[in-house]
Amino acid sequence: MFFASDNTSGVPRQILDAITQANEGAAPGYGADPIMEAVRDQLRDVFEAPEAEVFLVATGTAANALALATLTPPWGAIYCHPLSHIEVDECGAPEFYTNGAKLTLVPGADGKIAPEALADTLAASGRGVVHSVQPGALSLTNLTECGTRYSSDEIATLSKIARAHGLPVHLDGARFANALVAEGCSPAEMSWRAGVDALSLGGTKNGLMGVEAVILFDPARAWEFQLRRKRAGHLWSKHRFLSAQMHAWLENGLWRALASHANYMAARLESAIASETSRVYPRGGNMLFVRLSRAQHERLQAAGAQYFTSEEPPSGSGARDASTVARLVCSWNTTAEEIDAFATVLSGA
């Protein structure tokens, strides 16, 4: 019963086979391998963006931080949600790689920036005032850290507000595939057609051993990104092993199939435990946040269930009535048996 994260899962056989195949013979390094050419063509085709530039890195933090550094000057502000990954989980990497840009938090329910809050924040940004950081970029996350989903229309609305203030838009898509298949739109509709300038396309949480793509829909930014990636130590010498993973992931729609399975299992889990729990946020893809009683939490932990909690059950007086919020994440290889076992233990049957 492993629901801690989708990056705790293994790697699909197709990806492992691709790495093994790439291991044969020799290939140019640093992204000059022929597989990378194929990956670039694949992503341009998938996103209907023939001029887009594509780069691979090994981690989501590197993808986000380097993309934002390319979009934002050191004296700029990066507008993001208080629960965004770049604010909560990246140890100051965006500030480090931008050489000092400030994360400015914009609120909104369910992990999503509210358009009116963004408009108000930008109106009071201090643009043109030398004593203030200047508006730099907007960063959105899809799926959000609350497991909710921005629709393509919601992204377009926020992008329009950003664009009116001269800001480029970055999308942290660590779970972009999950958001995409849940929304039922095209990759273009959820990215550049909605106003996104740079996308961190996550593969690691959707089956890859460790690859993320940065897609720059404005090719004029590509050279700066290349320099920043190299200077930051994120340009791989044996790059073909990154390329091979991404190529196999994209081939024949595997990336969509893996995300669809994870979403389906999350829906099944949501249904199986609905009568025993209360939902904290709407489910947007493959993540659930539910409130558990202390007794439920203890039973699940004793049975070996793996998940993260955002609130620890208190001890002492009244502890038996306390509750906690559990984050449950389904993966490309989550099984129905795991879900059934979890639901059985949860109910105390």
- Output the domain CATH number for residue 204: 3.40.640.10
The stretch 137-146 carries a mean pLDDT of 98
Q: How far is 74 from 78, CA to CA, in rounded Å?
A: 10
Which residues are 287's β-sheet partners?
329
For the chain, count helices (H), then strands (E): 13, 11
Same domain, yes or no: 51 and 105: yes
Q: For residue 30, tell me if it sits in a domain.
A: yes
**Domains in the chain: how many in total?**
2
Q: How confident is the model at residue 311 (pLDDT cuts 50, 70, 90)?
A: low
pLDDT for res 113 = 98
The stretch 120-149 carries a mean pLDDT of 96
Q: How confident is the model at residue 315 (pLDDT cuts 50, 70, 90)?
A: very low
- Which of 214, 230, 254 is a domain's end point? 254
pTM score, whole prediction: 0.95
Q: Which two tokens stand for residue 270?
A: 């949501």
Element (H, E) at 215: strand 212-216
Question: Does 316 have pLDDT greater than 80?
Answer: no
Mean pLDDT of the chain: 95
pLDDT for res 349 = 63
Closest CA to 263 of 152, 322, 176: 176
Same domain, yes or no: 149 and 198: yes
pLDDT for res 312 = 52
Q: For residue 7, tell me if it sits in a domain.
A: no
Same domain, yes or no: 219 and 286: no
Q: How would you label 86-101 residue by residue, b for 16+ Cβ within 10 Å and e otherwise? A: bbeebeebbbebbeeb
CA-based R_g, the chain, Å: 21
Question: Does 123 have pLDDT greater than 80?
Answer: yes
Domain that includes residue 333, residue range:
256-347
Same domain, yes or no: 101 and 177: yes
